[in-house]
Chains A and B, each alone.
Chain A
């Protein structure tokens, strides 16, 4: 059996785990290629124009799998801890996928509510028919959930920007690459939340406690942790993302209070790379001029 995994959204967090888990079941995991213009165009044909860019992108990946695999594996992340939810569109993408795939391609979509492994186990049984095999495969794949150990190392004198955005936006080549390279070209080091330990990202102090979206809480915690030690903050917001737009306002206000340069980039499928680069260039230059002049004074 060939089981497709869209290389989008949660893939950027659980991808290696999923691939090993599926391979251990004796099915062949088929991961879609990196996002490109063609996949995005495909996605645009399948979802409402109102949804955010990452949802449009995953729709493209799902459409690309249709007909060339026996099933699509797309866990539905609902919540991880009490009162800590994934966003509604991320929950809903499974239903969109079901409509898109129709009867021809099976959809295997375990619902994840607090317990992460159990729904995976059940889905494993569904795919290979053997509880023993599913349990073994899960046990073997588990080590990949932790990811590599993280250690934030800040070199003295380096020019640093905190890039605050969802991993599925930053790590997606099509969305993130032009932004990352625009900063690097100007000699900046980008710090993302990937370099921060889980204890920081999951923190519930202060305002973070009242953020009930799991990924937004991570973003906000990363921002709070980094804002004092960077030359500027760049926040990537998906157009049409309610949680993003709300949290970004809080970050903007706080950056303003602390006098840290702040740039908000709004991403959608119309965003030309040229426009993004212009904004990034202008932002970096404004911060530099500001620094030079404050130092001179």
Chain B
């Protein structure tokens, strides 16, 4: 029987989960599409991870991160719920202690983390716009009828990279159509899109940050060799994609859970949680003109969590509060 730790990262586009051992070696990892239903994705993730690690592995700690970290934390009874900046930074430092810059691009989020001597010292996240993220690439790939998996490879074949406006998906799309109609090769356009992503990232997320080597590139978009290549061109230095780039946030959450449960019992409910009925529902509170949208999570018909109210009237009324 070996000790292991569970980390779950629920983002807008994808849901990631890992089980690691005490040395932070990844024993099992899964990457699923959230498909608008985090509850379904989390349960599926638990079931699949449970099957992968088998009965001998005991989970001694569980952590959650990502934009739905709170919901995930409530469902699995996590020991720690942590924001994705810290989770990514912790995982990056663990595997690449020498790294000084972490570029992370996910489905709708992008961030930069500045590390010095293995300590995260600064960060930035994209604001409202998802133009320079995975969804943007996904959308444009669909538009060009290229499977997203082939996208990066195609970009590497470019002979004359074209300039495409990457500020906004709408402009990029019309620009792209225009370039295609001029007869420019698809590979050149695809490379141009990769450049546009990088340019957008450098001008918004990384603006004003000092990017020092070694540079790590993680998150879903790191799978795209075209974007990695575009980063290397823009930065004029090599960019390393860590082995578990896709699930680094989840790995970080698991490491944090390991730290958190040092010397005490986990609250994690076991992989059997996958079989319990969970439901989320939203209602608009009419207590004041703010009309907050309150989200409720129900476990087997019982309300276990509420959030979204500015005043705390609903969230504080839940009997079993989340730490």
In the assembled complex, A266 has its CB within 8 A of some CB on chain B? yes
Total residue contacts A-B, CB cutoff 8 A: 57
B83:A278 contact, CB within 8 angstroms:
yes
Judge if A178 is at the interface, Cβ distance under 8 Å: yes
Distance between A276 CB and nearest chain B CB, rounded to angstroms:
11
Interfacial chain A residues near B123, Cβ < 8 Å: 282-283, 286
Is B125 positioned at the interface, with any CB of A under 8 Å from its CB? yes
The CA of A83 and the CA of B288, in the complex, are separated in Å by 43
Q: Which of B119, B127, B208, B290 contacts A37 (CB 8 A)?
A: B290
Which residues of chain A from 244 to 297 have any CB-CB distance to chain B below 8 Å in the complex? Answer: 249, 252, 261-262, 266, 268, 270-271, 273-275, 278-279, 281-283, 285-286, 289-290, 293
Residues of B within 8 A of A177 (CB): 310
A177 to B117, CA, bound (A): 36
Q: A177-B310, A270-B128, A286-B121 are in contact. List 6 more A-B contacts (CB 8 A).
A: A252-B208, A262-B122, A271-B128, A275-B127, A282-B123, A290-B119
**Interface positions of B from 54 to 100, Cβ below 8 Å from A:** 67, 83-86, 89
Which residues on A sit within 8 Å (CB–CB) of B289?
Answer: 33, 36-39
Contact of A282 (CB < 8 Å), options: B86, B288, B290, B310: B86
Q: Which residues of B contact A261 (CB under 8 A)?
A: 121-122
Interface of A is mostly: helix
B residues in contact (CB < 8 Å) with A: 67, 83-86, 89, 117, 119-123, 125, 127-128, 208, 288-291, 310
Pick the residue among B84, B119, B290 that contacts A36 (CB under 8 A).
B290
Complex Cα gap A145–B318 (Å):
45
- Contact: B85 with A38, CB < 8 Å? no
Closest A residue to B70 using CB positions = A274
Interface size class of A (residues with CB under 8 A): 20 to 34
The answer to whether B127 and A281 touch across the interface, beta carbons within 8 angstroms, is: no
- Interface pair A38/B84, CB less than 8 Å apart: no
Interface residues of A (CB under 8 A from B): 33, 36-39, 174, 177-178, 249, 252, 261-262, 266, 268, 270-271, 273-275, 278-279, 281-283, 285-286, 289-290, 293
List B contacts of A252 (CB < 8 A): 208
Q: Are B83 and A281 in contact (CB under 8 A)?
A: yes
Q: Is there contact, CB below 8 Å, between A286 and B122?
A: yes
Task: Considering the complex, give the chain B residue whose CB is closest to the CB of A174.
Answer: B290
- Chain B residues near A282 (CB, 8 Å)? 83, 85-86, 123
